[in-house]
């Protein structure tokens, strides 16, 4: 499914995380599931996250892009945006995902674009539009993430 592309981050964001000893591109990857599905994050900021995923290998029995695959792409992109919004002192935990599937895709790549709907202190909501190679909308999703304080010892603070 190809080699994972390097995500492009603003230098000030990379520097903020590097000061804490965090490799930002590795932290904001698509993870094991995303890699297995061929998800590639090609642009990432709190204002806009863009990623692609192949249809091939992510279909349901009728040969169409699986709705769950669209959900994986949507949650990945919305989570990355939420994490970048929260900054180095927060982690984003998805609490609500809604996907409306508009049309099927049988081949090629789909592209998801996540943009913020709400960016607060404790939650962030992103709309994710997934389109096919002809720029036809395949799915519209909305993801809300809870922003939790990071325990600098290695995880989310209890709360």
Q: Which 3 state secondary structure label does DSSP give 82?
A: helix
37 φ, ψ (degrees, to nearest 5) = -95, 0
Mark whether 75 is an active-site residue. Answer: yes
Instruction: Show Cβ contacts of residue 135 under 8 Å, excluding neighbours closer than 6 positions.
Output: none
Catalytic residue from among 3, 43, 56, 75: 75
Pairing of strands 137-151, 40-44: unpaired
H or E, element range at 97: strand 90-101
Distance between CA atoms of 16 and 99, rounded to whole angstroms?
Answer: 33
| Active site residues per annotation | 75
């Amino acid at each position: 499914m190809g080699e994972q592309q390097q995500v492009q981050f603003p230098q000030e964001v990379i520097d903020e995380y590097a000061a804490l000893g965090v490799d930002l591109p590795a932290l904001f990857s698509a993870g094991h599931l995303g890699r297995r599905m061929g998800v590639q994050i090609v642009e990432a900021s709190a204002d806009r996250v863009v990623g692609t995923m192949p249809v091939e290998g992510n279909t349901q029995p009728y040969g169409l892009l699986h709705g769950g695959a669209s959900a994986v792409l949507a949650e990945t992109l919305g989570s990355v945006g939420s994490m970048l919004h929260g900054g180095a002192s927060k982690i984003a935990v998805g609490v609500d995902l809604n996907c409306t599937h508009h049309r099927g895709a049988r081949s090629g790549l789909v592209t998801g674009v996540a943009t913020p709907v709400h960016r607060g202190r404790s939650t962030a909501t992103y709309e994710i539009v997934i389109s096919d190679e002809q720029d036809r909308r395949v799915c519209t999703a909305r993801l809300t993430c809870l922003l939790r304080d990071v325990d600098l010892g290695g995880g989310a603070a209890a709360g």
